[in-house]
Chain A
């Protein structure tokens, strides 16, 4: 375990130190806004204490990143593989264009969570948000799974325009007590999650519970809903040849 004190460091210096550590186990202390931590990391793990800057784990390709506090925007941008665990909240565009790997957030996530996420063969990205997410959740979603657990039982688990332009993948929403489902765009529809749906995310939920030490009962006291796209070619009738 190597410790790097990031106090006063520019991101270039910090990331270069991380790269030179050989990508095994690194803990970054006093992180404050340094961007691009763990970019394209293939192996090893990074633990961040403090507040990492934008684009944490961009193009992540197998490495593990653990953040003890909150994250900013564009976490896991264009991520290919690996795992990012955030004990606090995450900002906007979490997991943008993500193709593989997992992002677990204990708190809330911002606008456009999982925007344009996609899957390919064995690559199936997963985002699980413990609290609520902002608007445009899963915009353009083309593959993979986004789960918003709403563990605090808020009335609205997401903002507006959930699943707009969705043409692949699934969004799982959890409600409890009086919480209501968001309006959906014409491209998507919602059903109460089936056994089959739940089977798809069970392993990831188990891992989520254990990572954040959450009790199973708490989780399953709510109801799960699955949002799916109506077609994988939603715009075929949009055009006419000129």
Chain B
């Protein structure tokens, strides 16, 4: 079928007076944008191939390159946007389902940006985190509903297994296969150094990374890739993936082209074979079946590991979370509709699910109303972009947050949203050895440590401003939040007042 040519959205602008013809751009671009033309002695640019990932821009030693919006337009139409039109062109040409990567980029309200944080003035003092103790350590797991004492009256530790994190931030699940070995290595090292956790995602645990087990959460998804007793027992916690914010209600599909070598070994499936994760777990068709999977995982690990259930934020998430809390889960991880992904059908990513802010607020409230909030910890995820988002999420009721996209950006991701091609120039969302080697895991780990150390300090600054010096006292403390530009219904769902109220 003939495809319709649409002039590309971005084009490469080369400053010829600076360019020295070193051809680094040609070597660096895996998409084949830059090509040396021997007959003209110049470098040709095929803008149609450009993902706008900035690899060439950053690697150009003489700063001769930049990527600009091409300015090519359709006739202005607020309804039939250029995007709407080009997507129809693509589908009419191929008959394919539109596939995108990373989180939903659409202009829909970001509630975090419409929430403001409080600070102390006069009636109680703010606290200076540089000079006074300021604690962000969190324990994730159920709290006991009663105490027990031995015959001498001494308290018995009756806590179920917990995750201890030195800050309320974890790395989100990203599978080996969707991201590279180096990404996992950087995440694992950073998690260890920071006293937090990274998450294997559903692609199994590479044999090299068992040594980071104390800082690893292993995932059990519907495809059960790489799941076996040793995998389960190697980790600090086990996460059952029921859903993902970017694509609630659908499964996963890692194409066979990415199932190479180590990925195949780690997933324990043959090279080149598609890795298909069914939409549901086929042993979970109902809430009582979830209890069955939770209990079987606990039996398999002798009740030594907390079990996390990860769900996408959907319309009735509050009721679902109530059911999960009553099913023996120790931690519930909720992934909002802006969460990232290595690949998801565009229509699903942009239209299914709800924002994490609203989901979190209603889950926390419902669990409290039902008296089961203490039975589970809540992890919020789905586009946590900075430390203020974390402070807001915790005040809304989260015990901790997970970051995926932010961590990848720290590793060099430029959010070109082309992960599904498998040709990531930054060595992140690719399995091509020549691209993977571009990512330095040591340097990556350092950047992750830098990022989270900075965020943790910012969290402390904001806590100090509120007069809070232990993060426990921020959890669910919605009085510390006010909405701005939100309507009464939105405020009611968030359980906060409006600014000035």
Direct touching of A and B (C-beta under 8 Å): yes
In the complex, chain A residues whose CB is within 8 Å of the CB of B421? 241
- Count residues of A near B (Cβ-Cβ below 8 Å): 47
**One of A33-41, A145-153, A176-184, A191-199 contacting the partner:** A33-41
Tell me if A240 counts as interface (CB < 8 A to partner B): yes
Tell me if B150 counts as interface (CB < 8 A to partner A): no
B window 412-442: CB within 8 A of A? 418, 420-421
Given the contacts A59-B227, A97-B227, A123-B268, A242 and B299 also touching, CB distance less than 8 Å: no
Q: Closest CB of chain B to A159's CB: distance in Å?
A: 15
In the complex, chain A residues whose CB is within 8 Å of the CB of B264? 120
In the complex, chain A residues whose CB is within 8 Å of the CB of B278? 115-116, 139-140
Tell me if B377 counts as interface (CB < 8 A to partner A): no
Q: Which residue of A lies closest to B86 (CB)?
A: A242
Tell me if B224 counts as interface (CB < 8 A to partner A): yes
* Complex contact A61–B224 (CB within 8 A): no
* Complex contact A35–B255 (CB within 8 A): no
* Complex contact A143–B99 (CB within 8 A): no
Given the contacts A78-B227, A118-B269, A240 and B296 also touching, CB distance less than 8 Å: no
Given the contacts A55-B296, A80-B229, A242-B346, A112 and B269 also touching, CB distance less than 8 Å: no
Hey, what's the 0/1 contact readout for A33-75 against B, CB within 8 Å counting as 1? 0011001101000000000001100110100000000000110
Given the contacts A77-B283, A80-B229, A93-B283, A40 and B299 also touching, CB distance less than 8 Å: yes
Q: Which residue of A lies closest to B3 (CB)?
A: A240
Q: Closest CB of chain B to A228's CB: distance in Å?
A: 14
* Complex contact A35–B282 (CB within 8 A): no
Tell me if A235 counts as interface (CB < 8 A to partner B): yes
* Complex contact B268–A232 (CB within 8 A): no
Tell me if A234 counts as interface (CB < 8 A to partner B): yes
Q: Closest CB of chain A to B162's CB: distance in Å?
A: 20
Q: Closest CB of chain B to A241's CB: distance in Å?
A: 6
The CA of A165 and the CA of B223, in the complex, are separated in Å by 13
In the complex, chain B residues whose CB is within 8 Å of the CB of A96? 224, 282-283
Tell me if B87 counts as interface (CB < 8 A to partner A): yes
Hey, what's the 0/1 contact readout for A228-242 against B, CB within 8 Å counting as 1? 000011111111111
Q: Which residue of B lies closest to A60 (CB)?
A: B229
Question: Which of these, B96, B229, B255, B343, contacts A40 with CB under 8 Å?
Answer: B229
In the complex, chain A residues whose CB is within 8 Å of the CB of B90? 240-242
Question: Which of these, A59, A78, A120, A233, contacts B269 with CB under 8 Å?
Answer: A120
In the complex, chain A residues whose CB is within 8 Å of the CB of B222? 97, 116
* Complex contact B269–A19 (CB within 8 A): no
Given the contacts A240-B97, A240-B98, A119 and B270 also touching, CB distance less than 8 Å: yes
Q: Closest CB of chain A to B270's CB: distance in Å?
A: 7
Given the contacts A59-B300, A242-B90, A74 and B283 also touching, CB distance less than 8 Å: yes
Identify whether the interface residues of B are mostly helix, strand, loop, or mixed.
mixed
Question: Which of these, B268, B296, B418, contacts A77 with CB under 8 Å?
Answer: B296
B window 308-357: CB within 8 A of A? 343, 345-346
Tell me if B491 counts as interface (CB < 8 A to partner A): no
Given the contacts A74-B283, A167-B274, A233-B256, A240 and B96 also touching, CB distance less than 8 Å: yes
Tell me if B158 counts as interface (CB < 8 A to partner A): no
In the complex, chain B residues whose CB is within 8 Å of the CB of A142? 269, 273-274, 276
Identify whether the interface residues of A are mostly helix, strand, loop, or mixed.
loop
* Complex contact A61–B228 (CB within 8 A): yes
* Complex contact B223–A116 (CB within 8 A): yes
Question: Which of these, A35, A99, A241, contacts B296 with CB under 8 Å?
Answer: A35
Hey, what's the 0/1 contact readout for B250-278 against A, CB within 8 Å counting as 1? 00010110000000100011101110101
* Complex contact B296–A39 (CB within 8 A): yes
Number of A-B contacts (CB under 8 A): 145
Tell me if A15 counts as interface (CB < 8 A to partner B): yes
- Count residues of B near A (Cβ-Cβ below 8 Å): 48
In the complex, chain A residues whose CB is within 8 Å of the CB of B387? none
Tell me if A168 counts as interface (CB < 8 A to partner B): yes
Tell me if B20 counts as interface (CB < 8 A to partner A): no
Q: Which residue of B lies closest to A232 (CB)?
A: B273
Tell me if B81 counts as interface (CB < 8 A to partner A): no
The CA of A240 and the CA of B90, in the complex, are separated in Å by 7
Q: Closest CB of chain B to A227's CB: distance in Å?
A: 17
Q: Which residue of A lies closest to B301 (CB)?
A: A40
Q: Closest CB of chain A to B78's CB: distance in Å?
A: 21
The CA of A165 and the CA of B346, in the complex, are separated in Å by 22
In the complex, chain B residues whose CB is within 8 Å of the CB of A241? 90, 98-99, 418, 420-421
Q: Closest CB of chain A to B127's CB: distance in Å?
A: 46
* Complex contact A239–B283 (CB within 8 A): no
Question: Which of these, B224, B229, B282, B292, contacts A112 with CB under 8 Å?
Answer: B282
* Complex contact B228–A235 (CB within 8 A): no
In the complex, chain B residues whose CB is within 8 Å of the CB of A167? 273-274, 276
Tell me if B30 counts as interface (CB < 8 A to partner A): no
Given the contacts A59-B229, A115-B282, A234 and B274 also touching, CB distance less than 8 Å: yes
Question: Which of these, A55, A78, A165, contacts B224 with CB under 8 Å?
Answer: A78
In the complex, chain A residues whose CB is within 8 Å of the CB of B269? 118-120, 142-143, 168
Hey, what's the 0/1 contact readout for A205-242 against B, CB within 8 Å counting as 1? 00000000000000000000000000011111111111
Tell me if B302 counts as interface (CB < 8 A to partner A): yes
* Complex contact A240–B283 (CB within 8 A): no
The CA of A147 and the CA of B359, in the complex, are separated in Å by 46
Question: Which of these, B230, B256, B299, contacts A58 with CB under 8 Å?
Answer: B299
* Complex contact A73–B283 (CB within 8 A): yes
Tell me if B73 counts as interface (CB < 8 A to partner A): no
* Complex contact B296–A59 (CB within 8 A): yes
Q: Closest CB of chain A to B416's CB: distance in Å?
A: 12
Question: Which of these, A36, A140, A240, contacts B276 with CB under 8 Å?
Answer: A140
* Complex contact B273–A59 (CB within 8 A): no
* Complex contact B292–A236 (CB within 8 A): no
B window 43-90: CB within 8 A of A? 87, 90
Tell me if B234 counts as interface (CB < 8 A to partner A): no
Chain A to chain B contacts (Cβ below 8 Å), 29 pairs: A11-B295, A15-B299, A39-B300, A54-B292, A59-B227, A78-B228, A93-B283, A99-B268, A116-B222, A116-B282, A118-B268, A120-B268, A139-B282, A142-B269, A232-B256, A232-B274, A235-B274, A239-B96, A239-B343, A239-B420, A240-B91, A240-B93, A240-B94, A240-B95, A240-B96, A240-B97, A241-B418, A242-B87, A242-B346
Q: 7 closest pairs, A vs B, by CB?
A: A240-B96, A97-B224, A40-B300, A39-B299, A120-B268, A40-B229, A239-B99
